[in-house]
């Protein structure tokens, strides 16, 4: 994982490596409003934002076979992935002389990947999730807008 700076905020958790030539994947953009807990001081400035996704569960489901008007081809199999995304934010409190505070949240997301036509239940599936980009801004003293781009993929070995 790497960290980078944008607008004086350090972002960490972005994947250093993202694979090439993947066949079964989905890129998702998560836009989430994070409300600071009432037990925490209000925020004046964001300092750090970290995003750490984990695969909680995955399963194969049967689906219809066909092609949509947009050209999306359903092959009869999908790989469903449940994600738990831990978000940590460090911020400076809004009152003069306040120090740095941290809040941690867990976001839950579900992603379905279309598996290839030649998929077999005997195949080994290796799921992975990569953080491509993170952006955050203070919407108010009590809420943070977080936008994260994730790449969820499944490598399949027959």
Decide: pTM greater than 0.95: no
Asked if residue 20 has pLDDT above 90, the reply is no
Evaluate if residue 156 carries a pLDDT over 80.
yes
For the chain, what are the domain ranges? 25-157
* Residue range 21-65, pLDDT digits in tens: 888 999 999 999 999 998 999 999 999 999 999 999 999 999 999
Residue 91 pLDDT > 90, yes or no?
A: yes
User: Who has greater pLDDT, 6 or 14?
Assistant: 14
In this model, does residue 98 exceed pLDDT 80? no
| DSSP class of 98 | -
Instruction: Yes or no: say if 143 and 33 are a contact pair by the CB < 8 Å rule.
Output: yes
Give the number of other Cβ atoms within 10 Å of residue 55's Cβ: 14
Q: In sequence order, what E strands does the chain have?
A: 2-6, 9-14, 24-35, 43-67, 73-93, 100-114, 124-140, 143-157
């Amino acid at each position: 994982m790497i960290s980078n700076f944008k607008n004086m905020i350090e972002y960490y958790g972005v994947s250093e490596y993202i694979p090439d030539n993947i066949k079964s994947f989905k890129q998702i953009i998560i836009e989430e409003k994070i409300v600071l807990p009432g037990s925490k001081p209000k925020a004046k400035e964001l300092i750090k934002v970290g995003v750490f996704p984990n695969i909680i569960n995955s399963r194969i489901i049967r689906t219809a076979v066909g092609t949509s008007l947009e050209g999306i081809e359903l092959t009869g199999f999908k790989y469903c992935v449940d994600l738990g995304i831990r978000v940590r934010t460090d911020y400076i409190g809004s009152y003069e002389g306040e120090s740095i505070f941290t809040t941690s949240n867990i976001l839950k997301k579900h992603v379905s990947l279309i598996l290839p036509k030649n998929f077999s239940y005997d195949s080994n599936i290796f799921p992975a999730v990569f953080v491509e980009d993170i952006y955050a801004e203070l919407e108010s003293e009590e809420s943070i807008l977080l936008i994260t781009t994730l790449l969820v993929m499944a490598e399949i070995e027959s």
